[in-house]
Amino acid sequence: MHELSITESILNTAIKYAQKEKAQKVTDINLVIGDLSSIVDDSVQFYWELISKGTICENSCLHFQRIPAIVLCQDCGNRYALEHDLIPCPQCSGMNIKILSGDDFKMDSIEIQ
């Protein structure tokens, strides 16, 4: 359900930007979402279609770019990708890890007319 509040935030940001730039319409919004974030693309899309109706963002297209989860083992220096859950380092079995990417969520760009 947190996707609704996230989608509302995207909409508010896009509207503010479009108004600032005196745009007629928002056509595209590019989002970057890390695989470790709990954000579900389909849910964001569903809410977007509902809450953008009647706004300058109606009928705009959301584009989702997924960023893989990359972690660093702080015991041996190995970098590796996570497929699903946190796993021990495949090189040394250590769990002293640092997330380098994959917990991202940002609006990368907005296209307006």
Q: Secondary structure of the chain: what % helix, strand, coil (to 5)?
A: 25, 35, 40
Q: Are 33 and 10 in contact (CB under 8 A)?
A: no
Rounded CA-CA distance 37/57 in Å is 25
Q: What is the CATH number of domain 2-112?
A: 3.30.2320.80
First to last CA, the chain: 31
> pLDDT tens across 58-111, in order?
999 999 999 999 999 999 999 999 987 788 999 999 999 999 999 999 999 999
> pLDDT tens across 12-68, in order?
999 999 999 999 999 999 999 999 888 999 999 999 999 999 999 999 999 999 999
Query: Which residue is listed with tokens 């964001």?
Result: 44
